[in-house]
Amino acid sequence: MIARRMVLAGLASLSAGARLNAAAPSAIGSITRLDPGLDRIVAPSAVVTVLGRGYKWAEGPVWVQRDNCLLFNDPPSNMLYRWRAKDGVRPFLSPSGLQSAVPPGIREPGVNGMAIDSSGALIAADSGTRAIVRIDLRTRARTILVDRFQGKRFNSPNDLCVAPSGMIYFTDPPYGLTDGDASSLRELEHCGLYALSPDGRLSLLDGSHRRPNGVATSPDGKTLYLALSDERQPEILAYALDERGFPTGRHLFHDMRAEQGKGLPGLPDGIKLSRHGNIFATGPGGVHILTPDGRALGMVGTGKAVANCALDSAERRLFLTSSDMLAVVPIRSA
């Protein structure tokens, strides 16, 4: 367990003079229409706007409906930020992940992917602590939910989602380790896709991928999507799930080799789904917007790699964490 007093001390360290990383709104990037169906989601007149700049690597956005705000991370800086329309971007939690001095071999001490569970708590892939953690957004108290598989420490948990059943799906590539695959800190030989059940049971679902990354479930909980941030295999996979939430098979859902071949920035990374089942998957060129049957409607780009994205609770805004900035584009209906 991480002592609660350490977390509260970290919160207190956010002085009034902390850098806000705010940015005057400015239009950037582009919207690429591949199918007329995109106009039902993104208006032809829509533009991408910057909300904040100055991060080492913006990641893990999640909308918090209860507080009407967006939370996102800067894992290399071990900082979690909050954006609200009334006051822009402000520091929210520091340190966000690792609560001690950063030891040799850790490249990203902060948390990465995040989700909100049914109780309103923040569930986070803590790359620095190498664990899946639960954070009470009122008290900032942290609880480690799991940090080992068969007695061996995870590599660096990267992204996660909470299914309607309460199952937590998460990925564990070596991105948070300075030496990656060759890191002396590694205890597991595989990079896993895992499921943590509400009763605390941990299951390895797939250990065959080099770079499992973004993960999301369909609204009905019957399909699990996995992004492979693998330059050799830049794909989105879909796993059919049984009634218990475990895979019964998988297939290629979307191939991003064409965009990669054009030299567009980024690799498959974060994934979010709308209540209608449309998929917003980051990859080469930005956020790829796909229908539930895999048809590509278009792409929202910033000119830089987009690591992850999030929808607000009304599904009228799509937020993008892109390299050193936070951006947003209005949408009609997701």
List pLDDT tens digits, range 191-235. Answer: 999 999 999 999 999 999 999 999 999 999 999 999 999 999 999
Looking only at the bridges linking them, the beta strands covering 30-33 and 296-301 are antiparallel
Helix, strand, coil percentages, rounded to 5, for the chain: 10, 45, 45
Residue numbers of the chain with a pLDDT score lower than 50: 1-23
- Cis check for the bond before 95: say yes or no (omega within 30 of 0): yes
pTM given for the model: 0.92
- What's the length of the chain? 334
Looking only at the bridges linking them, the beta strands covering 202-209 and 212-217 are unpaired
The pLDDT assigned to 6 comes to 33
> Is the alpha carbon torsion for 276, 58, 80, 209 positive or negative?
positive
The pLDDT assigned to 333 comes to 78
Tokens 């329309």 identify what position?
A: 85
| Cα first-last separation, the chain | 39
Backbone angles phi, psi at 260, to 5 degrees: -65, -40
The pLDDT assigned to 26 comes to 73
Mean pLDDT, the chain, rounded, equals: 92
* Token digits of residue 54: 């100055």
Distance CA 92, CA 137 (A): 10
Nearest Cα neighbor of 169 from 210, 215, 222 is 215
Domains of the chain: 4-21+57-282 (2.120.10.30)
Helix/strand/coil for 160: strand
* Token digits of residue 309: 């994205």
List pLDDT tens digits, range 244-297. Answer: 999 999 999 999 999 999 999 999 999 999 999 999 999 999 999 999 999 999
DSSP codes, 253-309: EEE-HHHHHTT-S--S--EEE-TT--EEEEETTEEEEE-TT--EEEEEE-SS---EE
